[in-house]
Structure 1
């Protein structure tokens, strides 16, 4: 693969080239990782930036329907939109049906939109491991808005907030009371809470749910990156396409304020540090999958199972064998060693 040719095609915004580039960065083969790094370093010269919008919510809340309606509205305004949809994977086979693109049939036909579904491959946090690199490719291709749809997640999975400039949390009517809104985790990471399905018989319920969360958000500690009034709760209907233009206006106002106050680039720098540390952790974990490490782990695990070694001692022996030059941290032989006796 000629990386220079591929980089030029991505820079011109060719959707097929963007798809090939994402396939390359998602590959775990060592030779592909080398090429992916070269590609990303080459495309960094563009200096292009898009508005990265993370979108999360429980399964069935209408994320795909919202993204299609929202994306079509942005395209109608002359913007180019990329959608990175992460789909749940089977723990047994690693497979995924990747059904999000099927749900966004109208948006997928637009020449100004690009939709890429990816399996999460059991990666925690609701996103795939290489989603951040896929976002960088979409920015280099000249897309104005990149929407990152996570798998349906719970209250503790907030990794998508480390990928986005604005984090939207989509909720269903009657999804909880004010107490749910003051719980930590995904609620305090959200910039805007959107109560979807505010139409038909559910409209009144959606209004009450929105009021509950709006009240709860006022109880949360204010973050330095938020202007007055944020985070906020709003009602939308992806089916009737109502409230989407108001949500987009709020997103733009928030982005403009953060840029003017210096929070935009500071947050992106913080995110870059986060993903560097995460890449180091994942690289170290990948070393444990090498034949030598697997063989040693198998031997030590059998000794632990037989009661010959404690798990802590076996872990120390493993790391001492694999990386003898690294300073070893002494682990307690048992939990009792960590408890101070009064």
Structure 2
């Protein structure tokens, strides 16, 4: 069987990524993020050409309230790991403007020391208004980073929100970073986020804020105890700890907690089952997105969609309008 030129090129790009070529990795991520139909075909060929992975990388999701110090934490935590010889990839998702659609993509500026470390790789990507603060192609970017040999792939999201739980559906561990504030401010943290967190870290536990951070950690720990323990994890998880991204206090302990839980899940088979479930979710998301793309790309269906939307705005029943649109889609697919 003779490979087409495009597939052969993707096999070569995959080999370069697996060899640790950073330029090839950046090119691969740019390719998978593209929405052009020809690029999507090449991206699928690239992913298919990636070598089978041995020991899995740790996929770590990180979210936190605005101003909590996510970038400072990532830089300090990443530098600690990189200095110990681990390879760290950071996929930082920047919020896209709802007006212009543009993003600042300034994460390399905010993590200057980490971006210059030979053991680290930082890739900012626009969210493109995707819910959850996660770019649509983040999963593919994670696969590419794993193939490139990174030991940790960290996904930084744009902030806490109900749809932010999407990040937990593509990572092995979910880390929630909070500021030194308890009491009534607990109400500002979504219950769903707290329930999905594997480790809660109260940042800025230094100087005058240290005592307040410790009180906040006690408040969050009390809130977690009121939630049902997840039977898949060992006793004690999820946990709450205090850290200081500025001084480095507590970072080694946080790393130990994450590695303990990750290794336990891997040995118990929980990690493999979690990833299988996530792949099924990825499949369903791709089908949903593909159907929407089909509606947008077909001129007749796009017109039908606009007509249906206007009918609903004028008082038509939404469910009936949706059923009518789906009938048109079925007719298009069968014809």
Q: Place the TM-score, normalised by the shorter chain, in its bin.
A: over 0.9
Unaligned ranges ≥5, structure 1 = 328-342
Is the 1:55–1:147 contact (alpha carbons within 8 Å) kept by the matching residues of 2? yes
Equivalent runs, 1:114-129 vs 2, <5 Å: 114-129=121-136
| Distance of 1:151 and 1:69 partners within structure 2 | 19
TM-score (norm 2): 0.92
1:3-32 alpha-carbon deviations (Å, 9 max, x no partner): 122111100111111110000000011111
Question: Which structure 2 residues correspond to residues 268-283 of structure 1 after superposition, within 5 A?
Answer: 268-283=275-290
The residue that corresponds to 1:295 in the other structure is 303
Inter-partner Cα distance in structure 1 for 2:196 and 2:104 = 29
Q: Aligned partners of 1:80 and 1:305: how far apart in 2?
A: 52
Unpaired segments of 5 or more residues in structure 2?
A: 1-5
- Determine the C-alpha separation between the residues in 2 that align with 1:260 and 1:19: 32
Contact 1:96/1:119 (8 A) holds in 2: yes
Residues 223, 303 of structure 1: alpha-carbon distance in 2 compared, 3 angstrom cutoff: closer
Return closer, same or farther for 1:19/1:48 CA change in 2, 3 Å cut-off: farther
Q: Does 1:88 align with 2:95?
A: yes
Structure 1 residues 304 and 174, CA, compared in 2 at 3 Å: closer, same or farther? closer
Question: Aligned residue for 2:24?
Answer: 17
Could you give the per-residue CA deviations for residues 268-308 of structure 1, whole angstroms, max 9, x where no partner exists? Answer: 1111111111111111111121222111222334444455x
Which of 135, 145, 150 is equivalent to 1:143? 150
In structure 2, the partner of 1:172 is 179
Match of 1:192 in 2: 199
Which residue does the alignment assign to 1:40? 47
User: Closer, same or farther in 2 for the Cα pair 1:319/1:184, shift >3 Å?
Assistant: same
Q: CA RMSD in A?
A: 2.0
**Aligned match of 1:219:** 226
CA distance in 2, matches of 1:72, 1:44: 28
Higher helix share: 2
C-alpha deviation, 1:160, in angstroms:
0.8
Say if 1:124 and 1:183 are closer, same or farther in 2 by CA, change over 3 A: closer
Q: Distance in 1 between matches of 2:83 and 2:312?
A: 62
CA separation of 1:155/1:302 partners in 2, compared to 1, >3 Å: closer, same or farther?
Answer: closer
Q: Give the counterpart of 2:217 among 190, 210, 231.
A: 210
User: Does the 8 Å contact 2:64/2:176 carry over to 1?
Assistant: yes
Cα 1:312–1:155, aligned 2, differ >3 Å: closer, same or farther? closer
User: How many residue pairs end up in the alignment?
Assistant: 326
Query: Shift in Å at residue 225 of structure 1?
Result: 2.1
- The 1-side partners of 2:76 and 2:241 are apart by 16
1:336 is matched with which residue?
none
Instruction: Answer whether contact 2:132 2:161 (CA < 8 A) is retained.
Output: no
Question: Contact 1:100–1:117 at 8 Å: present in 2 too?
Answer: yes
User: Deviation string for 1:244-266 (max 9, x for gaps)?
Assistant: 01100111111111122221111
